[in-house]
Amino acid sequence: MKYIILFSLSLVFASCSKYLDEKPDEKLSAMNSLEDCQAILDRSLYVSRFGIGSLETSADNYYLNPDFWTQIAEEDRNMYRWAPENIYPRYGLTGNDWAYCYDNIFRANAVLEKVDEFKDNGQEYRNVKGQAYFVRAHHYLQAVWTWALAYQKANATSQLGLPLRTGTNFNEEVGRSNLEQTYQQIVQDAYRAIEYLPITPQHVYRASKPAAMALLARMFLSMNQYDSCYKYSAMAWSLKSDLLDYNNPSEVNVTADKPFQNFNKEVIFEYGSILGLTNPQYSFIDTNLVRSYSDSDIRKYAFFIPLGNQFTYKGSYNNNSNFAGITAAEVLLMKIESAARLDNSSEAVEGLNQFLLHRIQTDQFIPYVFTNKENLIADILQERRKELLMRGLRFMDIKRLNVLGAGIIMKRLINGEEIVLPPNDLRYALAIPEDVIALSKIVQNPR
């Protein structure tokens, strides 16, 4: 791992010319102020635009245009077919998801080691420290969704988690923690982020209290811990509850190739993931998914471009990549799913109607009426999938729902061959890149 981190350090400071010709320890010492620390966290190219693409690539929202099958790299073909190994390119100069993730964890660690030297109890200090905790928590959560199996309390201490690096010591050998320890690290960092961060960030590229609360809600949802998910989603919603009205052409230009403005009012935290195979140039949206949108659902026109009997995706809130950040709509959907599962059906129905009123054509809107708990949960999950596709959340959703017995089976059709990923398969913990295993000697995910 230390060689990977050494290379990571060069990426972390590549944006600042004063760092380029210095040794790693000198680069760290060049953070001489809170402003320098903030500059490290503001390197949006790495922190906010290189999110883990394999979370969406591994999910079932899309299928690859068969015309491109022979043109893509072997590793991409392997990931698309859920191969047990060799699914990432070697680190090299282009990097891979593991590298991008741990680059940012290292960036956060570097700031956290330096920031207390400039402690002044003012808002700038608190803000920088809170952002660093958030960056670390956010990337550990992305990583655990990718390289670990779904959380189950009964076996969490015996399941493999992540290598937990909380410092910048290159010589420290760090093995894999268990899954419980990994989630506890994320909890601790997110709690600290909430403590230090402001309610309103200077820009949504930076974290805030509602962003950290929503991150905790995301984490607890992925753990199927609905009481805690409800608590933190409700807290985030109380601070940031702006929904885009898809009926309003000044907010959503349905007919445009890019219907949504970057950094629109619904965005709580801006984050983009690598397109990879999900790039509309190479892939189509699952046809059955598109058919699940009613004709009165404005998302059907805002999200998709029809090409004969196929559809490409245009619904990202980020016009440069797949939006994988946090929105008020996602927070509301987490809140009402948790409420429904906790037998608070009236709040869940009220929230669902509030959400649908902003997505369905006004003259076609019919309020949702409660029939039973099971149908309500199923309908909320369906809205969650229709709202949050291509945001790096579907793979996690399949994992958490399958441990509850949902029985979701993913399938690919490749040159006439059907590839199947059964529920709770070991391949739901993706293979760690082989070069990482070779250099760090950490344990590979079992197959």
Query: What pLDDT sits at residue 44?
Result: 60
Q: 10 Å Cβ neighbour count for 400?
A: 18
Query: What pLDDT sits at residue 92?
Result: 52
CATH for 2-250+323-440?
1.25.40.390
Q: Which residues contact 330 (CB under 8 A, 6 or more apart)?
A: 214, 218, 387, 388, 391, 393
Indicate the pTM of the whole model: 0.93
Q: Which residues contact 199 (CB under 8 A, 6 or more apart)?
A: 208, 209, 210, 239
CA 406 to CA 423: how far, in whole Å?
A: 8
Spans in the chain with pLDDT lower than 70 = 1-29, 44-46, 91-94
Q: Where are the domains of the chain?
A: 2-250+323-440
Query: What pLDDT sits at residue 19?
Result: 28
pLDDT in tens, 237-250: 999 999 999 999 99
Closest alpha carbon to 313 in 277, 359, 363, 343:
277
Tokens linked to 54: 């394999």
Q: Are the CB atoms for 97 and 85 separated by under 8 Å?
A: no
Phi and psi for 424 in degrees, rounded to 5? 60, 20
Question: H/E element holding 386?
Answer: helix 373-387
CA 191 to chain centre: 18
Query: What pLDDT sits at residue 26?
Result: 45
Query: What pLDDT sits at residue 49?
Result: 74
124: exposed, middle or buried (Cβ count in 10 Å: 0-12, 13-18, 19+): middle
Phi and psi for 305 in degrees, rounded to 5? -110, 115
125: exposed, middle or buried (Cβ count in 10 Å: 0-12, 13-18, 19+): middle
Q: Are the CB atoms for 143 and 153 separated by under 8 Å?
A: no
Query: What pLDDT sits at residue 374?
Result: 98
Rounded to 10 degrees, the C-alpha dihedral 110/126/41/231 comes to: 100
Query: What pLDDT sits at residue 428?
Result: 98
Query: What pLDDT sits at residue 46?
Result: 67
